[in-house]
Amino acid sequence: MLDEIVRFENVGLRYGAGAETLSDLNFTLFPGSFYFLTGASGAGKTSLLKLLYLSQRPSRGVIRLFGEDAVTMPRERLPGFRRRIGVVFQDFRLVPHLSAFDNIALPLRVAGVREKDLETPVTEMLEWVGLGDRASARPATLSGGEQQRVAIARAVIGRPEILVADEPTGNVDPDMAIRLLQLFEALNTLGTTIVVATHDIHLLSKIPGAQMMRLEKGMLADPTGSLRFPPRSKNQQQ
């Protein structure tokens, strides 16, 4: 078991020749923890998540992921690491011509799971997100909230070690938002590290053991990372 699952050291990210979108990020994520990433629009939440789910390499600094240097890692090894990370994209990014079932099954198929072995987990996942009767529906025929649930189901179906979610409750009603957070919490209980980017401050109180990182203009509000204040730490709950 790793002591830490993610470590950022002096990480900066710059798109093109512009100013740095993210600067001097130093923090560590621990296995089995639950993190909220907050900040105003444009603070760099999505950029930080992109670094986490290996969609971008930083312009500077060191990122250690699952104990390995993700910055200098050869490109050929990245797919294997990506399969250990579940991602809920802000804009869902569902494949438009695939059904809800096929969209959810996609990570398993990419990972080479046999067809006969994915029917049950995908169906269960569809039931879990309340879309058991929409298995054959294509994204265009689903509401925003339904699409978001499909996106979440796709992200968690492969039992990732880290789940990264960008505004996962942005398009669902409050009840569904709570159900989805409960799903994340259940996954977290099973050992998955969860990172949820949100600007909805009310969500933070729903997961008592969660910790918070706040981004301001591309920098962590506390540059040392030590002041990530847990609304209520796990120790306090006990």
Partner 1 sequence: MFKFFAIPAHDRRLIPEGRLSGPMPWVIAIMIFLTVLAAAAGLAMTRAVGDVSDELSSRATVQIIEANPEIRARQAEAAADRLRAMPLVEEVRVLPPEEIEALIEPWLGTQDLANDIPLPALIDLKLARVATDGEYEALRSALAPVAPEARVEPSSGYIAPVISLVRSFQWIAFGLVGLLALATAAAVIISARSALNTHGETIAVVHLLGGTDQQISRLFQRRIALDALLGGLIGLVGGAAIIWLIGTQLRALGSGLVKSVGLDWWSWLIIAAIPILGMFLAMVTARWTVVGALKKIL
CA distance 118 to 56: 30
Could you say whether residue 98 binds partner 1 (CB under 8 A)?
A: yes
Residues that bind partner 1 (rule: CB under 8 A) add up to a total of 28
78-to-2, 90, 92 alpha-carbon distances in Å: 19, 22, 22
Which residue type is seen at 80? G
Instruction: State which of residues 46, 55, 59, 123 lies at the interface with partner 1 (CB under 8 A).
Output: 55
Nearer to partner 1, 98 or 178 (CB): 98
**105-113, 136-144, 171-179, 205-213 -> range binding partner 1 (CB under 8 A):** 105-113
Choice from 25, 100, 105, 219 touching partner 1 (CB under 8 A): 105
Q: Report if residue 115 touches partner 1, rule: CB under 8 A.
A: yes
Question: Interface with partner 1 includes 62 (CB under 8 A)?
Answer: no
- For the record, the structure tokens of 167 come out as 């505004």
For position 82 contacting partner 1 by CB under 8 A, the verdict is yes
How far is Cα 119 from Cα 111, in angstroms, rounded to an integer?
Answer: 15
Q: 156 vs 204, which CB is nearer to partner 1?
A: 156
Binding mask 148-187 for partner 1 (x = CB under 8 A): ------x---------------------------------
Say how many C-beta atoms besides its own lie within 10 A of residue 111's C-beta.
13
16-22, long-range: CB < 8 A, 24+ apart: 20/59, 20/218, 21/47, 21/218, 22/47, 22/48, 22/51, 22/58, 22/215, 22/218, 22/219
Query: Of 161 and 209, which has the nearer Cβ to partner 1?
Result: 161
Nearer to partner 1, 139 or 209 (CB): 139
Identify the three-state secondary structure at position 229.
coil
Q: Which is nearer to partner 1, 165 or 210 (CB)?
A: 165
Q: Alpha helices, DSSP H only, in the chain?
A: 45-52, 78-82, 100-110, 115-128, 144-156, 174-189, 234-237
| Binding footprint of partner 1 on the chain (CB under 8 A) | 53-57, 75-76, 78-83, 87, 93-95, 97-98, 102, 105-107, 109-111, 115, 154
